[in-house]
Amino acid sequence: MALDVQPALFVSHGSPLLALDRGPFSEALRGFAASVRPRAIAVVSAHWLSRESLFVTSSGRPETLYDFGGFPRALYELSYPVRGEPELARRIVDTLSARGLSAVAQATRGLDHGAWIPLRLGWPEANVPVIQLSLPRELGPERLLSLGRALASLREEGVLLVGSGGIVHNLRALGPDDGPVDARAKAFDDWFAEKLAKMDVESLALWPRAPEADFAVPTPEHLAPVFVVLGARRPEDRVEPIFEGFQHGSLSLRTFALRPSI
């Protein structure tokens, strides 16, 4: 039986404390997860950059990484005991290599919080195999779009592609979780939403020219995964908004999927 073409998902992972969330954000991810049936998930996260080659986790049981500090003990007591898929990892390495992208299987690296926290919210049963890919340290949009194009065919094989980062991610301007949204953060987030709705990838790639870009994107690694997702788009894809909102006034939680129109 043919596998359904899977969406490409961009999720804003916000603060690690979202792992304890039981509110609208986690409900939105659960709702999305219930609408798809991937045979595996391939995720790129803002928290794994590599310089020489791209890495692909190939462990059969990837470790849960706690790559953060200073949070409540309850956060460190969580885990995500998901299976890996070594054969898929090897095929991705071959696919990337065939496209001229240096790639290496990495058997010892686990899943960082940008990967396991949103996946744990959407798939708490940990019943879908997961692999993680690193991002190139050179985070220019064109290179990231090219990576997405190289991975796009996986969608036809039942693999859900996930980019995990944040449209606005300014840790230096954090406020109380229930405080007002910074106007500069909202300006950039609104600009992004407008261009995304039109699938104006050319304008999105010129994000440094957008309103309040310096405030919204002080460093590019959290925005970077969105271009991998956009690179994996298909002509028949539509944009499906999944969640919008802010955490701590300067962390956008905007989350969306690209999926074929019905």
* Span 75-84, pLDDT tens digits: 999 999 999 9
Q: String of b and e for 212-224 (b: at least 16 CB within 10 Å)? A: bbebbbeebbbbb
Given this model, what pLDDT does residue 49 score?
97
Over range 134-149, report the average pLDDT: 95
Given this model, what pLDDT does residue 178 score?
79
Q: Give the model's confidence band at 261: pLDDT under 50 very low, under 70 low, under 90 confident, else very high.
A: confident
Instruction: Give the pLDDT confidence of 21-32 residue by residue, as tens digits.
Output: 889 999 999 999
Q: Give the model's confidence band at 179: pLDDT under 50 very low, under 70 low, under 90 confident, else very high.
A: confident
Q: Give the model's confidence band at 262: pLDDT under 50 very low, under 70 low, under 90 confident, else very high.
A: low
Q: Is the pLDDT of residue 42 over 80?
A: yes
What tokens does 7 get? Answer: 């969406």
The Cα–Cα gap between 26 and 112 comes to: 18
Given this model, what pLDDT does residue 163 score?
98
CB 261, CB 238: distance < 8 Å = yes
Over range 124-145, report the average pLDDT: 96
Q: Give the model's confidence band at 91: pLDDT under 50 very low, under 70 low, under 90 confident, else very high.
A: very high
The Cα–Cα gap between 25 and 3 comes to: 28
Over range 227-249, report the average pLDDT: 97
Over range 32-58, report the average pLDDT: 97
Given this model, what pLDDT does residue 199 score?
96
Over range 143-164, report the average pLDDT: 97
Superfamily of domain 8-260: LigB-like (3.40.830.10)
pTM above 0.75, yes or no: yes
Given this model, what pLDDT does residue 63 score?
97
Q: Which long-range contacts (CB under 8 A, 24 or more apart) does 27-31 make?
A: 28/242, 28/243, 28/255, 29/118, 29/121, 29/122, 29/242, 29/243, 29/255, 30/121, 30/122, 30/124, 31/242
Given this model, what pLDDT does residue 52 score?
86
Given this model, what pLDDT does residue 1 score?
36
Given this model, what pLDDT does residue 67 score?
96
**φ/ψ of residue 124, rounded to 5:** -65, -20
